[in-house]
Structure 1
Amino acid sequence: MSRIFITGSSDGLGQMAAQLLVEGGHQVVLHARNKERAVHAMAQVPGAQAVLSADLSSIEETKALAQKLNDAGHFDAVIHNAAVGFSEPRRVATIDGLPHVFAVNTLAPYILTALMHAPKRLVYISSSLHLSGDPSLGDLAWESRRWGGTQAYSDSKLHIVLLAFAVARHWPGVLSNCVEPGWVATKMGGPDATDDLDLAYRTQAWLAIGTSASHQVTGDYLYHQQSAQALRAAFDPALQDRLLQACAQLSGVALPSH
């Protein structure tokens, strides 16, 4: 039995993965954006061990969440599932003055990774749209570029691949992988999505359990439990480290060595 924390598990793929893991007898701690969503999350995943609320667009709340998780004890796996989509019609700034998409999709998983006690397994959720992400990492805070929701989302999903691969390289004792769930009919994906919803959440749960030899991979990009294509630039250690340095500068949190 594993103890697993899942961000963004009040609905969508995070909730589905949580339900599957609870049904499998695992201890699951949920996450929701606020207390109201936390109540909803517990109602939707009966048997979950607990739920913690934090707005991941806030650096302060994300840091506080990491502390709460450390106080709650050891986790075998963390699934970084929370994300916001690309439908924002304009650049929305967070309380910290950062673009909302970047803060939630990139910076929050970085902060949680850096501040939480390292689990055995880390799972990050990306998208095939990362292939359209900007590997220059220029102007991460989007202070000067014209806003484009789809591009911002694609960039953030490239960032999460870079983060997963960087952690795999810097923390050899941790299995760190990235998952592409596919384009599925969730609230984010919309009703026209064409991929299999039932398969979309299973790979993240499968990696989080890590009970067989086939699960013991690291630094991989997976789609439906198979290695899939990732942008070639994402494998560049220098680019990975540039993202780590930028996130450390923006958050005031450095990724520790292991």
Structure 2
Amino acid sequence: MTAHNISRKIATTFALIAITISCSSTKTVNQAQKKAEKPQPQIAYSDLIVDDRESEYMMIPVILSGVEKESGRDPISLKIFSGKSIGSGTIGENMIFYNKTNGESNILLNRKALISKFEYLPGKKEPENPSNQNGQTNQPKQNSSKKVSSKPQNQLLLFHIIDSDTNTDGKLDHADAIVGYLSNLGGKSLQAITPPDTQLMSWVFDEKSGAIFITIRKDSDGDRKFTEKDDIDFVRVSVTKPNIGKEIIDGKTREELQKIMLNSK
């Protein structure tokens, strides 16, 4: 083999090495560019929510921009807090409460979650002064400046929160458990009131007893899904001492009902 042929082979080898390195570098650059082009989630804020019940607080929903399409969330628009359900999709991943009087703010959640919606929960009203048919009161006259408030006392917020990936699909969404939480109007004293592996369906508030009666759906067949095949149950929660609600239909009642409805001839 001549020296000329050896030189040509060496040159060819170096050329192939250079081309390989160039292609690898180009691939790395392209991958880096694609990663840079993909929008990264950032903290953003939805519209202010103002309580029209003379609360000291206003609420600011916290969202992650760039994930709306992925999660199917439709951020809420500006709404006045009228005491009814707010929002039909997901309100946000967290909530800031701002005190209009002292300027302080606090965060509702200390973990990742989705707030499905929140609702206003009234407490008991103060009793009115008794009076007879002639409009005369049996009680001593009081200072006219001290009027009895007709507004509900002990006002609370009921949150529907998704904070656990119960179906283990790697994300939080409305297919997971939806747990009920109570807090005060300042977003503090947050307390779970429904079992962790259930979905909050609906509720009613009984002013006389000061209790919330909540309808929940259980994953009764253990398939990590919440469907119409799963059992419905009901729990009772005290608003003065909120905690995980107790079922109001006991086992004995269920057995008797089964005998009556299913086993009778």
Q: What TM-score do the two structures reach when normalised by structure 1?
A: 0.27
**Greater C-alpha Rg:** 2
Higher relative contact order (CA 8 A, sep 6+): 1
Q: What TM-score do the two structures reach when normalised by structure 2?
A: 0.26
